Structure 1
Amino acid sequence: MRLVIARCSVDYVGRLTAHLPMATRLLMVKADGSVLVHSDGGSYKPLNWMSPPCKLVEGNAAGIESADGASASPGRLWTVTNKTGEHLLISIDEVLHDSAHELGVDPGLVKDGVEAHLQVLLAQHIETLGDGFRLVRREYPTAIGPVDIMARDGAGAAVAVEIKRRGDIDGVEQLTRYLELLNRDPLLAPVRGVFAAQEIKPQARTLAADRGIHCLVLDYDLLRGRDDPSQRLF
């Protein structure tokens, strides 16, 4: 990765045009060929960028002019061109820092507490749904997609469970579609639903209650055995 801090102006020339006036910015050139222009604000989002594959040429490019028609000295203009012929023109007035670093292969982000983890843990601790519950199957197949968990309650009735990290209206709608389909099967009906999530939005709770769906808030640390409610002060 190459990191350049410079006073520069930036023009995007393509399907539309965009201009960033002269200011001090961070220019990032990644090994995958992408080029990003950052300011000291705006969190992680760049002000402008060019996605790979693209080509970076340092020096004036004939026939390409910035939005304001300004010219740049040879070696002071970066011309970044993508596969569709669009250009990112970076006119550099002063370089304050220029360094290159070999980062190597990144192992990728390992997420904890995703829906797949919650599904496995809830299946292992199916009694979280209530006394007498037993697991029938994870990823129970239907014609419109798999139900996260199919279980039976203490009375032997079928229960379909939809699991989300953040429970919103879309998740309730998804479970509603599963229930409508499952209840057409005389070997399963009646099937009731449980909407389980680490956090459930009020609108989702209201819709679930209207459709006879029970809501269950999941405690991820408790399911993992890393939390003991008896040790809490409140």
Structure 2
Amino acid sequence: MRVVIAKCSVDYAGRLNAHLPLATRLLMLKGDGSVLIHSDGGSYKPLNWMSPPCSVSDVEVEQDQADAGITEIWKVVHHKTADMLVINIHEIFSDASHELGVDPGLIKDGVEAHLQKLLAEHIETLGEGYQLVRREYFTAIGPVDILARDENGGHVAVELKRRGDIDGVEQLTRYLELMNRDPLLAPVQGVFAAQEIKPQARTLAEDRGIRCVVLDYDALRGMADHNALF
């Protein structure tokens, strides 16, 4: 992973265009090929990013750009969608590379991990006609608990919590924004599932078009125990 602190401006060109004006930011170039741009706020969510597969190249700085204070230009191009992220570097304050190795992944606590397993085995709990695609669907910014298909064949990303709060909704929102950039997945709907969902989290989720589902852990366990008898 390469971690750079730099004064920069950023332009994103694709299905949506976006501009970040000149400011000091954290740039992360990860080993999986993703590029993420962070500020000192906004918690874990990047201001903008490019998911893999993509490539990063240095572009020659024209004289008028140099006169404007630009010292480097990084061009990030997505291999499938041709979306492009252009990072105009004015000054680099820190530039370090680290080899992190293979990560063992997130180990969930017993109840949450078991809840994920049970829901995957009984995915029809979310609705008639639902089918499991896989558990722990990995993205450039972390694993989605469950990826499924609904009765119409559309993709559904499921985020599971024991107690659902606003942070969980924000996490799922981030996954959905990224996954909906992938033409092989889009459109992707979201389901926020938990044993208990706080009212504020439900309001935020529904405002963002995310369906909330309250899960009965004991009922799911009972379904598994019942099936084991046959």
TM-score (norm: length of structure 1): 0.48
**Which is higher, the Rg of structure 1 or of structure 2?**
1
